[in-house]
Chains A and B, each alone.
Chain A
Amino acid sequence: MWSTLSGMKVVIVGCGRVGSGVAKQLAEQGWDVTCIDEDEGALARLGEWRGGFVVGHGMDTGVLERAGIAEADAAVVGTNGDNTNVVVGQVIQRRYDIDCVVVRVLDPRRAAFYAERGLRTVCPTQTAIATLTDVVRSCEVTPV
């Protein structure tokens, strides 16, 4: 089982499939979670939600601040736009001095570029490539 981390606060920018999933897992483990999404309807993805939810865009520092970014220990940026994610991630890291900023970047080369410059990038495309390759390799295929 996961240990419960009480009192840790995370802001999640982008509450789609990925963002909402991360939000629910962290909330279950005792994190204080606030989600940000442009679409009010994204709240439905969170089910019975006791955390925070702010409607707005991550480029808007007013929105970030309403979500409590100034007191956050960590942030996850996973909207469906790579460039929005790397820009919002860097703004959070530098303006609010948060070290643990995790950013989703689908393009492997952009993910590598920003990882080299101190952003914690996660590239689902790279993960998919590695996993698919491994699964194919593990099949016991014999030449026809």
Chain B
Amino acid sequence: MYAIVAGGGKVGANITRSLLAMGHEVTLVEQRRDRFEQLEAELGPVVLAGDATEIFVLERAGIARPPDLVLAVTGDDEDNIVISQIAQDGYQVPKVVARVNDPRNQGHFDLLGVARTLCATSGLLGLVEHEVPEHGLVKLLELRREGLEVVELSVSPEAPAAGKRVAGLSLPDDVRLVSITRNGVAEVAGLDTVIRPGDQVIAILKPGLEDRLRKALVG
């Protein structure tokens, strides 16, 4: 596989090292001269000096081949959007993944057609909520393109679902229980699965139905 990685900060440099170790061909584009020299000393001719939002720099990196994958992982969200748009709209790169630095910019990525994004801040926030569930419901995964999300809930002894079969719950359409974890062991949830206090339930649903799921399951 051939990949162009735009942005040689910690994220870009580590991804490049991993891709190279897996035997892939990579070009890493870094704009800052001092950082470029540092990376070049370590990684050699894989590293290219330049601004990856300039089309001629991307061309020197081989954007016209086109690569199988472009990763826009600079520290600037506007730059990442522009790199992604040039790669996917200008050169039909089959897979483009962009880093979202400021979670408030997520909507801009979505609106401008940059579909595959990763936001470390949102991810970390999700993990924090996972440790400290505030509303009894934690988002584990957002399947943005599919319009679905995966959430986790804890069942307390006084929860309305405690002691009931899955089939007996009044769940909204577009919500399915996926698994029940009890004493650290997970089982796929079926219609006959009985929910017990202390269970961790994983569900898949359409966004917006979180409150109705929570009411039906944990009150």
Contacts and interface: CB of A to CB of B under 8 A. Distances in A.
Interface in B89-128: 89-90, 104-105, 107-108, 111-112
B112 A83 contact: no
A7 to B, nearest CB: 29
A90 interface: yes
A87 B112 contact: yes
A82 B112 contact: no
A137 B117 CA distance: 50
Contacts of B107: 61
Contacts of B86: 113
Interface string A81-93: 1111011001100
Contacts of A81: 78
B20 interface: no
Nearest to A58: B78
Given A59-B77, A117-B89, A87 B108 contact: yes
B89 A110 contact: no
Interface stretch (B51-59, B164-172, B173-181): B51-59
B77 A110 contact: no
A83 B53 contact: yes
B204 interface: no
A109 interface: yes
A69 B66 CA distance: 38
B111 A95 contact: yes
Contacts of A113: 55, 86, 90
Interface of B: 53-56, 76-79, 81-82, 86, 89-90, 104-105, 107-108, 111-112
17 contacts: A59-B105, A60-B104, A83-B53, A83-B79, A86-B78, A86-B82, A87-B78, A87-B81, A87-B82, A90-B112, A91-B111, A94-B111, A95-B111, A109-B55, A109-B56, A110-B54, A113-B55
